[in-house]
């Protein structure tokens, strides 16, 4: 038996007939996916008066076993949502990025994040902590979060609808697909497209901070592989992401357990602090890294893509969560600022598509810099990094202004 819901036709018709600017109070919005992007969008939309329901397929709102980096551009959204202080309380504020040689762990270059500016703060946080923070705030703001709601099909239209694995169906004025890499809405808007394997796999693990690593991200760079580590939860644990080039590939997604011995074998030539970190790994997940094109079309039939569903990215610029936060704010702002749902959605796509394309391209271009083999190119690259960060550190960091200096909350 299908679940019936009143459609929001009268609300939308009022805007069209009177020429009023879109206001969100009374607008019924359904968000598919209870991850960072979906929950942030729910908060931003509910804060403007919309009636928001989040459909999440899991039995609980949670994320497991991974960390993420909230850079200044993503932090501005959390500030605007009133969550910056709560984030800071659950995070480690990053002070530097240390690029290191794989053999003995000697530092090649150091980026002082304090030089980004007094308002350009950078945080390392456990993904589960940020998810919990967003979910609690969303519920406090009246967002309905429905668990065990697996979307089978999303049907754009007037109104759009979501068919669930339970046999129920839900319609709304707007459906937002924040449903990740294998998005049902992406398939509905542009059709399925197979991803391309990058020739790289990655392991993720969370370990005790056995090396006493301070508030910095360390990148140990080796031939065809690299490992990133940074502290979380008051510095008590480290998040590890280890990437290796290989011809064979793992199933896409990262919820696939692997034997820690495989990780240790892949990085057996690494020295410095790496062996101690790898010795502490008790549970690890492995996933293949794939390239997906940024969706050429994000909106249609009163539906909108958001986050990884629109622009999945490789983890070499640490921008996946930050782009999703930007999307969430941009969507709510665009809808509030236009006189029809169609115009608001078109504005959302117009402002987000070029920026996300640039970020995804930059992330894709970053991997090779960490994987250089011993030889003249690696030597020259490391010399350039060392001199650039020591002799002109401010100028070196200015290359990131386009990324970190962006403030989506002051646009549109």
d(CA 61, CA 136): 10
d(CA 338, CA 333): 9
Which of 44, 16, 12 minimizes the C-alpha distance to 28? Answer: 12
Among the listed residues 122, 230, 348, 370, the single catalytic one is: 230
Q: What is residue 257's DSSP assignment?
A: E
The CA-to-CA distance between both ends of the chain, in Å, stands at 43
Element (H, E) at 370: helix 341-370
Determine phi and psi for 322, rounding to 5 degrees: -65, -40
Other C-beta atoms lying within 10 Å of the C-beta of residue 392: 11
d(CA 344, CA 340): 6
Respond yes or no: is residue 230 known to be catalytic: yes
Residues constituting the chain: 412
d(CA 360, CA 403): 12
Handedness of CA 54, 57, 59, 60 (dihedral sign): negative
Q: What is residue 156's DSSP assignment?
A: -
Q: The tokens of 217 are what? A: 């991200």
Other C-beta atoms lying within 10 Å of the C-beta of residue 82: 12
Yes or no: say if 327 and 352 are a contact pair by the CB < 8 Å rule: yes
Yes or no: say if 162 and 12 are a contact pair by the CB < 8 Å rule: no
Strand order in the sheet with 92-93: 67-70, 123-126, 92-93
Element (H, E) at 395: helix 393-398
Which of 337, 92, 382, 403 minimizes the C-alpha distance to 237? Answer: 92
Yes or no: say if 368 and 83 are a contact pair by the CB < 8 Å rule: no
What is the Cα gyration radius of the chain? 22
Other C-beta atoms lying within 10 Å of the C-beta of residue 343: 16
Catalytic residues: 230
């Amino acid at each position: 038996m299908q679940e019936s819901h009143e459609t929001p036709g009268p609300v939308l018709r009022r805007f069209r007939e009177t020429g009023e600017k879109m206001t969100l109070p009374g607008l019924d919005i359904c968000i598919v996916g209870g991850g960072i992007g979906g929950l942030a969008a729910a908060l931003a939309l509910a804060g403007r008066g919309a009636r928001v329901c989040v459909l999440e397929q899991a039995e609980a709102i949670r994320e497991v076993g991974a960390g993420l980096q909230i850079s200044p551009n993503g932090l501005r959204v959390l500030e605007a949502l009133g969550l910056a202080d709560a984030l800071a309380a659950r995070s480690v504020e990053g002070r530097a990025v240390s690029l290191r040689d794989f053999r003995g762990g000697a530092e090649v270059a150091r980026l002082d994040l304090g030089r980004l500016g007094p308002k350009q703060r950078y945080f390392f946080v456990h993904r589960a902590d940020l998810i919990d923070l967003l979910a609690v705030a969303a519920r406090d703001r009246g967002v309905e979060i429905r668990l065990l709601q697996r979307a089978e099909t999303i049907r754009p239209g007037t109104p759009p609808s979501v068919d669930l694995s339970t046999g129920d169906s839900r319609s709304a004025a707007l459906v937002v697909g924040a449903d990740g890499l294998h998005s049902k809405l992406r398939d509905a808007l542009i059709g399925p497209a197979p991803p391309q394997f990058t020739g790289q796999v990655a392991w993720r693990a969370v370990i005790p901070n056995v090396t006493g690593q301070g508030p910095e991200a360390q990148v140990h760079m080796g031939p065809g592989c690299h490992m990133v580590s940074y502290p979380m939860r008051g510095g008590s644990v480290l998040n590890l992401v280890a990437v290796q080039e290989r011809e064979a590939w793992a199933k896409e997604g990262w919820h696939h357990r692997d034997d820690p011995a495989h990780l240790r074998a892949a990085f057996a030539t690494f020295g410095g602090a790496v062996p101690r970190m790898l010795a502490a790994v008790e549970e690890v997940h492995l996933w293949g890294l794939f390239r997906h094109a940024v969706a050429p079309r994000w909106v249609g039939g009163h539906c909108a893509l958001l986050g990884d569903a629109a622009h999945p990215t490789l983890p070499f610029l640490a921008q996946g969560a930050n782009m999703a936060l930007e999307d969430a704010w941009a969507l709510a702002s665009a809808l509030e600022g236009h006189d029809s749902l169609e115009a608001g959605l078109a504005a959302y796509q117009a402002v987000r598509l070029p920026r996300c394309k640039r970020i995804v391209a930059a992330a894709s271009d970053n991997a090779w810099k960490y994987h250089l083999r011993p030889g003249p190119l690696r030597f020259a690259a490391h010399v350039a990094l060392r001199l650039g960060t020591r002799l002109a550190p401010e100028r070196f960091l200015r290359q990131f202004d386009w990324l970190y200096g962006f403030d989506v909350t002051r646009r549109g």
